[in-house]
Structure formats: structure tokens, C-alpha cells
Structure 1
Amino acid sequence: MTTIDEIAPDLYRISLYIPAFDMQFNHFLIKDEEPMLYHTGMRSMFPMLKEAVAKVISPEKLRWIGFSHFEVDECGSLNDWLAIAPHAQAVCSEVGAVVNMGDFAIRPARGLSRTEVLQTGKYSYRFVPTPHLPHGWDAGVLFEEKNKTLLCSDLFHHNGNCAAITSADIIEKVQTALQNMQQSPLADYMPYTHKTARMLKDLANLKPTTLATMHGSAYSGDCVQALHDLNLVMKEELGENALVIKE
């Protein structure tokens, strides 16, 4: 089942809940002069997502197809979107454009450098590279500067068929999700390195007011504190001493 919610001005969260994984897959549509879809979804999801996008804008009018890193739910159906939107272009990190999109995408991607800004019209999206956070050499996030929304990919991943947006604390759910991942075949879902704390601090310094999460509710509470708390939880659950601490 697909749900559509406007979680910030002109920012639509298109969510598919997959019961087998107890997980939402969220995709974000920016309605502007140059519309952008952030997260393409898997190829199998394309028909449902196309139908949902069509309820907000004509899919053929998409100009930008954005994503954090090379992964099936982030950009699996990229070429399906490029095929139906003749003026659309993938937008990702410079690393992603070189090492992945140059071979994968049917048209050249726009690679963004550190602090480069993508203009969609009245909205400006600042690119912040976050290599290996959540995962992947090519990872990065976009920060919308007017309404201060952070498109944060897998950061703050939590399970369940959740409300579109919440101001309730989500950190406990995030910690539970990380613990479950570590006890599953998907262990090592995210690394915690000597650079993680600095990158999360840099994101907190942007002072976002909404966290647009890929899995779970978007968050509209104290986002700065949430990013600091995320660092502590990731260090506890994923850091090099995590297993020692738990024994």
C-alpha cells in the first residue's frame, strides 16, 4: 500500500510498507519548477511509485532524480524514471557519478561537490558528502535551506508501519533497529569510524528542523539533539568496542 503525505512545504513523502520486512520504504518528491524525486525505489516498486508520483505531478516533468548512494532502494529503478522523463538527470555525489553512474545510468549524472547547491526553483539543496555514512564510498545527503529539511537516507532507520511524521523521540526505535540488524544476516549495516562523529556534528550544525528518513517516520522535533544522540547510539551499537561492552 502506498501513502502520500506532505511533510514540509512542497515535499511529499511517498511510502510503501513491506510487511515481510516490517519496514517502510520512503521516497521524497519535491514539487518545484524543476521537480526532484529523491530515492527511486527498487525496480519492482516502479509501477506503484509512478502511479503515486502522478497524483502530485506528471512523472514526465521530473528534472532531477536524487539519491544518497548506490543501492537498490536508493536508485534501483533510476533508468525506468529516466526513460519516462526525457529531461531528467540523476544527481548524486561526484564519487557516485564517476564510479557508479558512468556505467549504470542511461544518461550522464550530475555529480555534486562538497557544499555545492542544487536549485530546483524556489528551493535550494546543499550537498553534504558523508562517505560510508550511512554506507558506501559515494554516500552524501541533501539539505533544503529554506525549510531546513535534511534528506538523510538510511540515517535514523527504524522499523514499523509508522506515522508519516512525528515529533516524538525516535532514538529508542533507531537503537532497536540497529541492534536487530547486528543480530541478523544484515550485520554491519553501518560502520562507525573515526570520522562518523564529525560528519554527524556537521549535519547537526546545519540546524535542520525536519529529518526526512528513508525507513520510518520523518522527524520534526529537536533534530540537532537527535543527530548528537544518533552518534552516541551508533558508537554504542556499532563502534569497535560494542561487542566488548555488551559481554
Structure 2
Amino acid sequence: METRVHEIADGVYRLSTFVDAVTPEGFTFNQFLIDADEPMLFHTGMRGLFPLVSEAVSRVMPVERLRWIGFGHVEADECGAMNQWLAAAPHAQIAYGQLGCDVSLNDLADRPPRALANGEVLDLGGRRMRWIDTPHVPHGWEAGVFFEEAEGVLFAGDLLTHGGDPAPVTEMDVISPALAMEEASKSMTMAPATVQTLRELAALSPKALALMHGSSFRGDGAGQLRALADWCEGKVPA
């Protein structure tokens, strides 16, 4: 395996590792490095991927420069390697939603995390990362996303997950492969607020969607999210 690096927006790097054993068509695990005065890594990857992903980061900047580590929910591919990153980057701190810190990270993380309120902005110096609570979207009570305001990038985590080893970034529709994957995996939580939450994310009008699995998307991000919301509308129990 190898971790490949592609710049998907100005100063935003996609670090992608293709694992062929996860699904019949294989699966990508993507992290995102935001280059700023206080650089941030979004998603840590699993512990076993740390050597590959940290080497990929070092191709862009010294790992020791990392100041912030974020993710969308508590799951191995999202935050499994967080303590390895904290050890490798002595000035780094996890930034995560208040609820997730209270129920998990205050115990799991080797250093105290920075708890973020819904809508709070983390200023990286040249980049403004707004934390948005998205309970149960796509899954997890404490789930959330970051929206980078300068470039309009939504770090959408497991939303619009699709398989295979597609191009690093696409301007083509990602909703079709994402819905095919969701029909097979049933990974999303269909909760009362799911559709409303997706429509609120669409209202941000993101110019790019940084997706954890599959291609990142560049273009009408709102349209992709609205299409997902429309599909979910028929799935949420009355």
C-alpha cells in the first residue's frame, strides 16, 4: 500500500490510501491536511496506517508543525491513530465538538482536547475552520463536520462515501456511486433530523466536498448534498 498526496484546493491536501480488501472494488481511506500558520490534519486514519500517512504528511511539511487534529466522529478510521499523531507532533491538540470531548475524548486522548461549540470557528491563521454539530449524520451521536470558510471546503467525513479507487478530485456527479454504496452498506443513520441537517449543510454552498472515502468533489457541493437529502427523505421513518 501507499498513501498518495494531491492538492484538491489551495493549501488543502488529500492523503489517500487504497485498500483492496475492504470491498469487492476496494476502498480509499482519505485524510486532509490544511496548510496554514497552524496546520490541521482532518482524520487520523487507523493506527496501522500511521507510518504511511505520516510519511505522506512529511512530503508537504514536517509532521512536528501540526497544530490541530480533527475528525468527524469517533471511529477507528477517523481517529484511531490520534495518540500516535499527538506523540509525533508535540504541539498538536485535538479539536472536536463539546459532546464528543465529554463522552469520549477527555478519556481517550493522551492530551486534553480543545472542545468546540456548535458554530465555533477555529482560526488557523489564514484558514477559518467552523465546527458544525451534525448529530447522527451520517452516524454517531457526537458527529460533526468542519467548514473551511476561505476556500469553501466542507470536510464532510463519511457523507457521500463511495468505493473503488477513483480520481483524487472530480467535478462529475458523486451522488450516484454514493447512493449505490449506501444501498449496499446501510451505514447512514436515518434519524428525524437527518434531512434537515443535510439541507443546512447544503445552505453553506460549499465549493468543494472533502470526502473520507472516494473522490473529493469540486463544484456545486450544495446540489450534491440536496440530492442526498432528497433521497434520505423517503428513508427516514415517519
Equivalent residue, structure 1, for 2:173 = 169
The answer to whether residue 61 in structure 2 is matched with residue 57 in structure 1 is: yes
Counterpart residue type for residue 25 of structure 1: F
Equivalent residue, structure 2, for 1:108 = 112
Equivalent residue, structure 2, for 1:7 = 8
Structure 2, gaps ≥5 residues long:
none
Superposed displacement of residue 179, structure 1: 1.1
Equivalent residue, structure 2, for 1:227 = 225
The answer to whether residue 33 in structure 2 is matched with residue 36 in structure 1 is: no
**1:222-247 Cα distance to aligned partner (Å, 9 max, x none):** 111111101122344x4338xxxxxx
**1:179-232 Cα distance to aligned partner (Å, 9 max, x none):** 1113xxxxxx21112201111111111110000000000111211111110112
Equivalent residue, structure 1, for 2:150 = 146
2:214 aligns with one of 213, 216, 223? 216
Identity %: 44
Equivalent residue, structure 2, for 1:94 = 98
1:156 aligns with one of 154, 160, 165? 160
**1:147-184 Cα distance to aligned partner (Å, 9 max, x none):** 100000000100010101001011110111011113xx
Q: Distance in 1 between matches of 2:30 and 2:137?
A: 18
Q: Distance in 2 between matches of 1:158 and 1:229?
A: 15
Q: Is contact 2:195–2:232 with CA below 8 Å preserved after alignment? A: no
Q: Is contact 1:157–1:174 with CA below 8 Å preserved after alignment? A: yes
1:190 aligns with one of 176, 188, 191? 188
Superposed displacement of residue 50, structure 1: 0.8
Given the two structures, how large is their TM-score scaled by the length of structure 1?
0.92
Partner SS, residue 230 of structure 2: helix
Q: Distance in 2 between matches of 1:240 and 1:115?
A: 28
Q: Distance in 2 between matches of 1:148 and 1:179?
A: 29
Count of equivalent residues: 234
Equivalent residue, structure 2, for 1:186 = none
- For residues 65-84 of structure 1, what are the structure 2 equivalents within 5 Å? 65-84=69-88
Q: Distance in 1 between matches of 2:98 and 2:213?
A: 25
Counterpart residue type for residue 121 of structure 1: G
Counterpart residue type for residue 211 of structure 1: L
Q: Distance in 1 between matches of 2:237 and 2:49?
A: 36
Q: Distance in 1 between matches of 2:179 and 2:74?
A: 24
Q: Is contact 2:135–2:144 with CA below 8 Å preserved after alignment? A: yes
Equivalent residue, structure 2, for 1:240 = 237
Q: Distance in 2 between matches of 1:100 and 1:180?
A: 29
| RMSD, aligned α-carbons | 1.1
Partner SS, residue 157 of structure 2: coil
Counterpart residue type for residue 213 of structure 1: L
**1:106-145 Cα distance to aligned partner (Å, 9 max, x none):** 0000111011000111010111100111111110000000
